[in-house]
Amino acid sequence: MGEKNNQNEDIYKKRIVRQYIMLLLTLVFVLVTIVAASLFFRFYKTDKVKQAEAASYDKYYVMITDNYKSDFWKSVYKGAKDKAKEENIYVDLLGEQLSKDYSVEELMEIATASKVDGIIVYANETLEMSQLINDAVAKGIPVVTLYGDCTRSDRISFVGVGGYSIGRMYGGQIIDIIKEKRREELLESETIADRSQVEITVLVSADSKDTGQNIIISGLQDVINQDNVTDSEFEVTIAAVDNTNSFSVEESIRDIFLGESVPDVIVCLNELSTVCTYQAVVDFNMVGEVSILGYYDSETIVNAIERGGIYSTISIEASQLGEYSVNALSDYYEFGNTSEYYLADVTLINRDNVASYRKEEGTDE
Protein backbone atom coordinates (compact mmCIF):
# COMPACT_ATOMS: atom_id res chain seq x y z
CA MET A 1 0.00 0.00 0.00
CA GLY A 2 2.85 2.35 0.91
CA GLU A 3 4.60 1.52 -2.34
CA LYS A 4 1.45 2.41 -4.32
CA ASN A 5 1.18 5.75 -2.54
CA ASN A 6 4.80 6.50 -3.37
CA GLN A 7 4.11 5.73 -7.03
CA ASN A 8 1.11 8.03 -7.06
CA GLU A 9 3.18 10.74 -5.41
CA ASP A 10 5.93 10.34 -8.04
CA ILE A 11 3.35 10.57 -10.86
CA TYR A 12 1.87 13.70 -9.27
CA LYS A 13 5.32 15.32 -8.91
CA LYS A 14 6.18 14.54 -12.54
CA ARG A 15 2.88 16.05 -13.66
CA ILE A 16 3.60 19.23 -11.68
CA VAL A 17 7.11 19.43 -13.15
CA ARG A 18 5.71 19.06 -16.68
CA GLN A 19 3.19 21.82 -16.05
CA TYR A 20 5.93 24.13 -14.74
CA ILE A 21 8.07 23.34 -17.79
CA MET A 22 5.15 24.08 -20.16
CA LEU A 23 4.43 27.35 -18.33
CA LEU A 24 8.10 28.33 -18.48
CA LEU A 25 8.30 27.53 -22.20
CA THR A 26 5.16 29.59 -22.83
CA LEU A 27 6.59 32.57 -20.95
CA VAL A 28 9.87 32.27 -22.84
CA PHE A 29 8.00 32.12 -26.17
CA VAL A 30 5.93 35.22 -25.34
CA LEU A 31 9.05 37.10 -24.21
CA VAL A 32 10.97 36.15 -27.36
CA THR A 33 8.00 37.20 -29.52
CA ILE A 34 7.76 40.60 -27.83
CA VAL A 35 11.49 41.21 -28.11
CA ALA A 36 11.51 40.13 -31.77
CA ALA A 37 8.57 42.40 -32.56
CA SER A 38 10.21 45.32 -30.78
CA LEU A 39 13.44 44.82 -32.70
CA PHE A 40 11.53 44.51 -35.94
CA PHE A 41 9.64 47.76 -35.28
CA ARG A 42 12.89 49.49 -34.36
CA PHE A 43 14.63 48.53 -37.58
CA TYR A 44 11.56 48.71 -39.83
CA LYS A 45 11.77 52.42 -40.46
CA THR A 46 15.58 52.32 -40.56
CA ASP A 47 15.39 49.92 -43.47
CA LYS A 48 12.84 52.09 -45.26
CA VAL A 49 14.94 55.19 -44.69
CA LYS A 50 17.95 53.44 -46.17
CA GLN A 51 15.87 52.60 -49.23
CA ALA A 52 14.70 56.19 -49.47
CA GLU A 53 18.22 57.55 -49.03
CA ALA A 54 19.49 55.21 -51.73
CA ALA A 55 16.92 56.74 -54.08
CA SER A 56 17.56 60.23 -52.65
CA TYR A 57 13.97 60.83 -51.50
CA ASP A 58 13.33 64.09 -49.66
CA LYS A 59 10.67 62.78 -47.28
CA TYR A 60 9.18 59.54 -45.97
CA TYR A 61 5.40 59.31 -45.44
CA VAL A 62 3.32 56.33 -44.32
CA MET A 63 -0.26 55.45 -45.21
CA ILE A 64 -2.32 53.46 -42.69
CA THR A 65 -5.57 51.70 -43.64
CA ASP A 66 -7.82 49.05 -42.15
CA ASN A 67 -7.42 46.66 -45.10
CA TYR A 68 -4.42 47.19 -47.37
CA LYS A 69 -5.40 44.11 -49.41
CA SER A 70 -8.64 45.55 -50.84
CA ASP A 71 -8.77 46.90 -54.40
CA PHE A 72 -10.06 50.20 -53.06
CA TRP A 73 -7.10 50.85 -50.77
CA LYS A 74 -4.63 49.60 -53.36
CA SER A 75 -5.98 52.23 -55.74
CA VAL A 76 -5.78 54.93 -53.05
CA TYR A 77 -2.18 53.98 -52.31
CA LYS A 78 -1.22 53.98 -55.99
CA GLY A 79 -2.58 57.52 -56.32
CA ALA A 80 -0.51 58.64 -53.32
CA LYS A 81 2.61 56.83 -54.46
CA ASP A 82 2.46 58.23 -58.00
CA LYS A 83 1.89 61.77 -56.76
CA ALA A 84 4.65 61.49 -54.15
CA LYS A 85 7.10 60.22 -56.73
CA GLU A 86 6.60 63.44 -58.72
CA GLU A 87 7.70 65.36 -55.63
CA ASN A 88 10.60 63.05 -54.76
CA ILE A 89 8.79 61.63 -51.71
CA TYR A 90 8.48 57.99 -50.64
CA VAL A 91 5.09 56.74 -49.39
CA ASP A 92 4.97 53.41 -47.57
CA LEU A 93 1.74 51.43 -47.11
CA LEU A 94 2.39 50.55 -43.49
CA GLY A 95 1.44 47.03 -42.51
CA GLU A 96 1.90 45.53 -45.96
CA GLN A 97 5.35 44.18 -45.10
CA LEU A 98 4.66 43.21 -41.49
CA SER A 99 4.45 39.56 -40.44
CA LYS A 100 0.96 39.84 -38.92
CA ASP A 101 -2.09 42.07 -39.18
CA TYR A 102 -2.08 45.04 -36.81
CA SER A 103 -4.93 47.41 -36.03
CA VAL A 104 -4.95 50.96 -37.33
CA GLU A 105 -4.23 52.17 -33.80
CA GLU A 106 -1.20 49.87 -33.42
CA LEU A 107 0.16 51.02 -36.79
CA MET A 108 -0.24 54.64 -35.66
CA GLU A 109 1.98 53.88 -32.66
CA ILE A 110 4.59 52.28 -34.92
CA ALA A 111 4.56 55.24 -37.31
CA THR A 112 4.92 57.77 -34.51
CA ALA A 113 7.75 55.82 -32.85
CA SER A 114 9.49 55.59 -36.24
CA LYS A 115 9.51 59.42 -36.51
CA VAL A 116 8.23 59.49 -40.09
CA ASP A 117 7.80 62.81 -41.93
CA GLY A 118 4.04 62.47 -42.33
CA ILE A 119 1.14 60.12 -41.57
CA ILE A 120 -1.91 59.50 -43.77
CA VAL A 121 -4.42 57.48 -41.73
CA TYR A 122 -7.89 55.99 -42.13
CA ALA A 123 -9.18 57.45 -38.88
CA ASN A 124 -12.28 57.32 -36.71
CA GLU A 125 -13.88 59.45 -34.02
CA THR A 126 -12.74 57.45 -30.98
CA LEU A 127 -10.88 59.09 -28.12
CA GLU A 128 -8.00 56.65 -28.61
CA MET A 129 -7.51 57.71 -32.24
CA SER A 130 -7.69 61.38 -31.27
CA GLN A 131 -4.97 60.87 -28.66
CA LEU A 132 -2.76 58.96 -31.12
CA ILE A 133 -3.05 61.71 -33.72
CA ASN A 134 -2.39 64.43 -31.15
CA ASP A 135 0.66 62.53 -29.90
CA ALA A 136 2.09 62.31 -33.42
CA VAL A 137 1.46 66.02 -34.09
CA ALA A 138 2.99 66.95 -30.73
CA LYS A 139 6.15 65.15 -31.86
CA GLY A 140 6.31 67.17 -35.06
CA ILE A 141 4.64 64.67 -37.41
CA PRO A 142 1.76 66.16 -39.47
CA VAL A 143 -1.24 63.86 -39.79
CA VAL A 144 -3.83 63.76 -42.58
CA THR A 145 -7.01 61.78 -41.92
CA LEU A 146 -8.10 59.79 -44.96
CA TYR A 147 -11.62 58.67 -45.84
CA GLY A 148 -12.55 58.48 -42.13
CA ASP A 149 -12.11 61.66 -40.08
CA CYS A 150 -11.23 62.45 -36.47
CA THR A 151 -12.64 65.95 -36.02
CA ARG A 152 -11.60 66.30 -32.37
CA SER A 153 -7.93 65.77 -33.13
CA ASP A 154 -5.06 68.03 -34.26
CA ARG A 155 -4.98 66.54 -37.75
CA ILE A 156 -3.96 69.12 -40.35
CA SER A 157 -6.47 68.05 -43.02
CA PHE A 158 -9.20 65.56 -43.95
CA VAL A 159 -9.30 63.89 -47.37
CA GLY A 160 -12.52 62.07 -48.16
CA VAL A 161 -15.76 62.05 -50.11
CA GLY A 162 -19.01 63.97 -49.75
CA GLY A 163 -21.05 61.55 -47.64
CA TYR A 164 -24.29 63.52 -47.96
CA SER A 165 -23.97 63.62 -51.76
CA ILE A 166 -23.41 59.85 -51.83
CA GLY A 167 -26.49 59.40 -49.64
CA ARG A 168 -28.54 61.46 -52.07
CA MET A 169 -27.30 59.29 -54.95
CA TYR A 170 -28.43 56.19 -53.08
CA GLY A 171 -31.76 57.87 -52.31
CA GLY A 172 -32.36 58.61 -55.99
CA GLN A 173 -31.71 54.98 -56.87
CA ILE A 174 -34.11 53.81 -54.17
CA ILE A 175 -36.83 56.09 -55.58
CA ASP A 176 -36.29 54.49 -58.99
CA ILE A 177 -36.54 51.01 -57.46
CA ILE A 178 -39.76 51.89 -55.61
CA LYS A 179 -41.31 53.27 -58.80
CA GLU A 180 -40.31 50.17 -60.76
CA LYS A 181 -41.84 47.97 -58.05
CA ARG A 182 -45.05 50.02 -58.12
CA ARG A 183 -45.35 49.67 -61.89
CA GLU A 184 -44.95 45.90 -61.60
CA GLU A 185 -47.58 45.75 -58.84
CA LEU A 186 -49.96 47.91 -60.87
CA LEU A 187 -49.85 45.38 -63.67
CA GLU A 188 -50.58 42.54 -61.26
CA SER A 189 -53.19 44.19 -59.03
CA GLU A 190 -56.16 46.48 -59.41
CA THR A 191 -56.01 48.29 -56.04
CA ILE A 192 -53.45 50.43 -54.23
CA ALA A 193 -54.21 48.49 -51.06
CA ASP A 194 -52.35 45.52 -52.49
CA ARG A 195 -49.08 47.43 -52.49
CA SER A 196 -46.36 45.91 -50.34
CA GLN A 197 -43.96 47.95 -48.26
CA VAL A 198 -40.47 48.27 -49.73
CA GLU A 199 -37.91 47.11 -47.16
CA ILE A 200 -34.56 48.94 -47.34
CA THR A 201 -31.61 47.80 -45.25
CA VAL A 202 -28.37 49.78 -44.92
CA LEU A 203 -25.30 47.77 -43.92
CA VAL A 204 -23.17 49.67 -41.41
CA SER A 205 -20.00 48.86 -39.49
CA ALA A 206 -20.77 47.19 -36.17
CA ASP A 207 -18.07 49.15 -34.34
CA SER A 208 -19.96 52.41 -35.06
CA LYS A 209 -16.70 54.37 -35.34
CA ASP A 210 -17.44 55.71 -38.83
CA THR A 211 -19.62 58.82 -38.44
CA GLY A 212 -19.60 59.19 -42.23
CA GLN A 213 -22.13 56.36 -42.32
CA ASN A 214 -24.70 58.52 -40.53
CA ILE A 215 -24.20 61.35 -43.02
CA ILE A 216 -24.80 58.98 -45.95
CA ILE A 217 -27.96 57.59 -44.34
CA SER A 218 -29.20 61.13 -43.65
CA GLY A 219 -28.78 62.10 -47.31
CA LEU A 220 -30.53 58.89 -48.40
CA GLN A 221 -33.56 59.47 -46.16
CA ASP A 222 -33.85 63.15 -47.12
CA VAL A 223 -34.14 62.31 -50.83
CA ILE A 224 -36.76 59.62 -50.24
CA ASN A 225 -38.84 61.92 -48.05
CA GLN A 226 -38.51 64.87 -50.46
CA ASP A 227 -39.92 62.75 -53.28
CA ASN A 228 -43.25 62.50 -51.43
CA VAL A 229 -42.97 58.78 -50.83
CA THR A 230 -44.96 58.09 -47.68
CA ASP A 231 -43.54 56.18 -44.74
CA SER A 232 -46.16 53.50 -45.32
CA GLU A 233 -44.57 52.68 -48.70
CA PHE A 234 -41.06 52.03 -47.41
CA GLU A 235 -39.06 51.26 -44.29
CA VAL A 236 -35.36 51.96 -43.77
CA THR A 237 -33.55 49.73 -41.27
CA ILE A 238 -29.93 49.49 -40.20
CA ALA A 239 -28.04 46.19 -40.08
CA ALA A 240 -24.71 46.03 -38.24
CA VAL A 241 -21.96 44.10 -40.02
CA ASP A 242 -18.96 42.68 -38.17
CA ASN A 243 -16.02 44.06 -40.18
CA THR A 244 -13.34 42.18 -38.22
CA ASN A 245 -12.42 40.16 -41.32
CA SER A 246 -13.91 38.98 -44.61
CA PHE A 247 -15.35 35.83 -43.00
CA SER A 248 -17.22 37.81 -40.32
CA VAL A 249 -18.64 40.13 -43.02
CA GLU A 250 -19.89 37.13 -45.00
CA GLU A 251 -21.50 35.62 -41.90
CA SER A 252 -23.22 38.89 -40.95
CA ILE A 253 -24.71 39.23 -44.43
CA ARG A 254 -25.75 35.57 -44.69
CA ASP A 255 -27.64 36.00 -41.41
CA ILE A 256 -29.77 38.64 -43.15
CA PHE A 257 -30.69 36.19 -45.91
CA LEU A 258 -31.46 33.48 -43.37
CA GLY A 259 -33.88 35.77 -41.51
CA GLU A 260 -37.66 35.72 -41.66
CA SER A 261 -37.79 38.29 -44.46
CA VAL A 262 -35.08 39.46 -46.88
CA PRO A 263 -34.97 43.20 -47.70
CA ASP A 264 -36.01 44.43 -51.14
CA VAL A 265 -33.03 46.81 -51.23
CA ILE A 266 -29.64 46.41 -49.55
CA VAL A 267 -27.35 49.44 -49.41
CA CYS A 268 -23.64 48.63 -48.99
CA LEU A 269 -21.21 51.27 -47.74
CA ASN A 270 -17.93 49.60 -48.65
CA GLU A 271 -16.39 47.32 -51.27
CA LEU A 272 -16.29 44.12 -49.19
CA SER A 273 -19.93 44.34 -48.13
CA THR A 274 -20.94 44.89 -51.75
CA VAL A 275 -19.09 41.81 -52.99
CA CYS A 276 -20.33 39.63 -50.11
CA THR A 277 -23.94 40.76 -50.57
CA TYR A 278 -23.79 40.00 -54.28
CA GLN A 279 -22.39 36.54 -53.53
CA ALA A 280 -25.20 35.92 -51.03
CA VAL A 281 -27.84 36.96 -53.59
CA VAL A 282 -26.36 34.46 -56.04
CA ASP A 283 -26.05 31.69 -53.43
CA PHE A 284 -29.67 32.13 -52.28
CA ASN A 285 -30.92 32.36 -55.88
CA MET A 286 -32.38 35.84 -55.34
CA VAL A 287 -30.90 37.71 -58.31
CA GLY A 288 -33.61 40.10 -59.50
CA GLU A 289 -35.48 39.91 -56.20
CA VAL A 290 -32.99 41.90 -54.10
CA SER A 291 -31.63 45.19 -55.43
CA ILE A 292 -28.06 45.88 -54.30
CA LEU A 293 -26.76 49.43 -54.14
CA GLY A 294 -23.02 48.96 -54.02
CA TYR A 295 -19.88 50.89 -53.26
CA TYR A 296 -16.74 51.22 -55.39
CA ASP A 297 -16.10 50.07 -58.97
CA SER A 298 -13.96 46.95 -58.76
CA GLU A 299 -14.04 44.56 -61.71
CA THR A 300 -16.29 42.15 -59.79
CA ILE A 301 -18.83 44.87 -58.98
CA VAL A 302 -18.95 46.34 -62.49
CA ASN A 303 -19.34 42.84 -63.98
CA ALA A 304 -22.25 42.21 -61.60
CA ILE A 305 -23.99 45.40 -62.77
CA GLU A 306 -23.67 44.23 -66.38
CA ARG A 307 -25.20 40.86 -65.43
CA GLY A 308 -28.04 42.45 -63.46
CA GLY A 309 -26.87 41.15 -60.09
CA ILE A 310 -26.12 44.63 -58.69
CA TYR A 311 -28.51 47.52 -59.37
CA SER A 312 -25.90 50.30 -59.16
CA THR A 313 -22.73 51.36 -57.39
CA ILE A 314 -20.92 54.50 -56.31
CA SER A 315 -17.59 54.92 -58.07
CA ILE A 316 -15.00 56.72 -55.96
CA GLU A 317 -11.99 58.35 -57.57
CA ALA A 318 -9.79 56.41 -55.17
CA SER A 319 -6.54 57.55 -56.76
CA GLN A 320 -7.62 61.14 -56.10
CA LEU A 321 -7.88 60.38 -52.38
CA GLY A 322 -4.24 59.28 -52.36
CA GLU A 323 -3.12 62.20 -54.49
CA TYR A 324 -4.91 64.78 -52.33
CA SER A 325 -3.42 63.26 -49.16
CA VAL A 326 0.11 63.87 -50.46
CA ASN A 327 -0.91 67.36 -51.60
CA ALA A 328 -2.12 68.18 -48.09
CA LEU A 329 1.21 67.16 -46.51
CA SER A 330 3.25 68.92 -49.21
CA ASP A 331 1.27 72.15 -48.79
CA TYR A 332 1.79 71.97 -45.03
CA TYR A 333 5.56 71.66 -45.42
CA GLU A 334 5.76 74.35 -48.10
CA PHE A 335 3.34 76.95 -46.74
CA GLY A 336 2.95 76.02 -43.06
CA ASN A 337 -0.76 75.29 -43.52
CA THR A 338 -3.11 73.44 -45.86
CA SER A 339 -6.77 73.17 -46.83
CA GLU A 340 -8.86 71.64 -44.06
CA TYR A 341 -10.90 69.50 -46.46
CA TYR A 342 -10.23 67.75 -49.77
CA LEU A 343 -13.10 65.88 -51.44
CA ALA A 344 -12.62 63.32 -54.21
CA ASP A 345 -15.03 62.91 -57.12
CA VAL A 346 -17.83 60.32 -57.03
CA THR A 347 -19.87 58.89 -59.91
CA LEU A 348 -22.96 56.70 -60.06
CA ILE A 349 -22.66 53.57 -62.23
CA ASN A 350 -25.81 51.65 -63.15
CA ARG A 351 -27.14 49.56 -66.02
CA ASP A 352 -27.84 52.73 -68.05
CA ASN A 353 -24.25 53.99 -68.15
CA VAL A 354 -22.11 50.93 -67.37
CA ALA A 355 -21.27 50.43 -71.06
CA SER A 356 -20.04 54.01 -71.45
CA TYR A 357 -18.13 53.68 -68.19
CA ARG A 358 -16.40 50.59 -69.56
CA LYS A 359 -15.54 52.48 -72.72
CA GLU A 360 -14.08 55.44 -70.78
CA GLU A 361 -12.03 53.12 -68.59
CA GLY A 362 -10.66 51.37 -71.67
CA THR A 363 -9.73 54.74 -73.21
CA ASP A 364 -7.96 55.87 -70.02
CA GLU A 365 -5.90 52.69 -69.93
What residues does each domain of the chain span?
1-45, 46-161+320-343, 163-317+346-364
Over its C-alpha atoms, the chain yields an Rg (Å, rounded) of: 26
* Residues facing residue 293 across a β-bridge: 267, 312
Task: Determine contact, residues 210/147, Cβ cutoff 8 Å.
Answer: no
Distance CA 168, CA 218 (A): 8
Distance CA 150, CA 304 (A): 34
In a 13 Å sphere around the CA of 101, the CA atoms on its Cβ side amount to 8
pLDDT on residue 182: 79
pLDDT tens track for 201-222 = 999 988 756 667 889 999 999 9
The neighbour count for residue 296, using CB atoms within 10 Å, is 23
pLDDT tens track for 265-312 = 999 999 999 999 999 999 999 999 999 999 999 999 999 999 999 999
% of residues, the chain, pLDDT over 70: 79
Confidence band for 93, pLDDT divided at 50, 70 and 90? very high
pLDDT tens track for 163-187 = 999 999 999 999 999 888 877 766 6
pLDDT tens track for 119-133 = 999 998 899 999 999
| Homologous superfamily assigned to 46-161+320-343 | Response regulator (3.40.50.2300)
Q: How far is CA 171 from CA 165, 229, 326, 346, 350, in A?
A: 10, 11, 32, 15, 14
pLDDT on residue 177: 92
pLDDT tens track for 98-119 = 777 788 999 999 999 999 999 9
Kindly report the CATH class assigned to 163-317+346-364. alpha beta
pLDDT on residue 70: 86
pLDDT on residue 54: 43
Higher pLDDT, 338 or 54: 338
Q: Answer yes or no: same fold for 46-161+320-343 and 163-317+346-364.
A: yes
Confidence band for 61, pLDDT divided at 50, 70 and 90? very high
